[in-house]
């Protein structure tokens, strides 16, 4: 393992930790801190700099361009009220990591898992509400579930969970390149410097 691989491994571990933090804060507070999004961008800059230092320039400028395209599209989605600003910023920051090749897969997996998680979340809310007033069943529903669902009535669904599922694709791909090919395969599967 060379120094570049070590730095990239630490950057990937830091990215995983920031993704976990985004999920925690979004679920508990319905917000994704700007520090998380800034940290994702900063770690990408470190990761990209190690690629440049190793003599590899895999899609860095294209990654920046596509991140801005994702941010612009996300701004429209935010203005329509379909997604929170923190979600949009996190997706744009992760677009840097995805690059032009992984970006469609990242967005597809995020969207698909977002639909599944949203349906599950709404289904849970509906089931708890219905079952909490059903004679014979109401006593078996924990009171804290009922109070949680009542408190969240009309609240938005935290989208950091599906973003994290999509980010797992990025992390897994980059990690596989890191352990399998060293610096030359760290950006994308099938790409070599």
The mean per-residue pLDDT over the stretch 75-92 comes to 95
Nearest alpha carbon to residue 54 among 190, 189, 176, 178: 178
Distance CA 85, CA 83 (A): 7
Tokens of 22: 């985004």
Cα dihedral 145, 151, 155, 156 sign: negative
**C-alpha span between 175 and 179 (Å, rounded):** 6
Rounded mean pLDDT, 84-111: 95
pLDDT in tens, 135-158: 666 666 677 766 766 666 667 788
Instruction: Rounding to the nearest 10 degrees, give the CA dihedral for residues 107, 184, 186, 63.
Output: -40
Spatial distance between the Cα atoms of 172 and 193, rounded to a whole number of angstroms: 20
Residue 187 to residue 134: CA distance in whole angstroms: 54
**Whether the predicted model's global pTM rises above the 0.85 cut:** no
Higher-pLDDT residue of 54 and 62 is 62
């Amino acid at each position: 393992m060379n120094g570049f691989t070590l730095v990239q491994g630490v950057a990937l571990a830091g990215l995983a930790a920031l993704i976990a933090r985004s999920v925690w804060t979004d679920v508990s507070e319905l917000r994704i801190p700007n520090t998380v999004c800034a940290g994702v961008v900063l770690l990408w800059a470190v990761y990209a700099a190690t690629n440049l230092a190793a003599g590899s320039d895999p899609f860095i400028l294209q990654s920046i361009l596509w991140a801005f395209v994702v941010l612009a599209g996300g701004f429209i989605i935010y203005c329509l009220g379909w997604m929170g600003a923190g979600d949009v910023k996190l997706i744009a920051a992760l677009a840097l990591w995805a690059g032009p090749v992984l970006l469609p897969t990242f967005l597809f997996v995020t969207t698909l898992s977002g639909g599944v998680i949203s349906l599950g979340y709404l289904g849970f809310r509906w089931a708890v509400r219905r079952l909490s007033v059903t004679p014979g069943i109401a006593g078996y529903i924990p009171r804290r579930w009922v109070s949680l669902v009542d408190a969240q009535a009309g609240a938005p669904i935290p989208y950091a969970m599906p973003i994290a599922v999509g980010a797992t694709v990025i992390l897994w791909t980059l990690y596989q390149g890191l352990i399998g090919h060293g610096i030359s395969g760290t950006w994308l599967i099938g790409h070599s410097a």
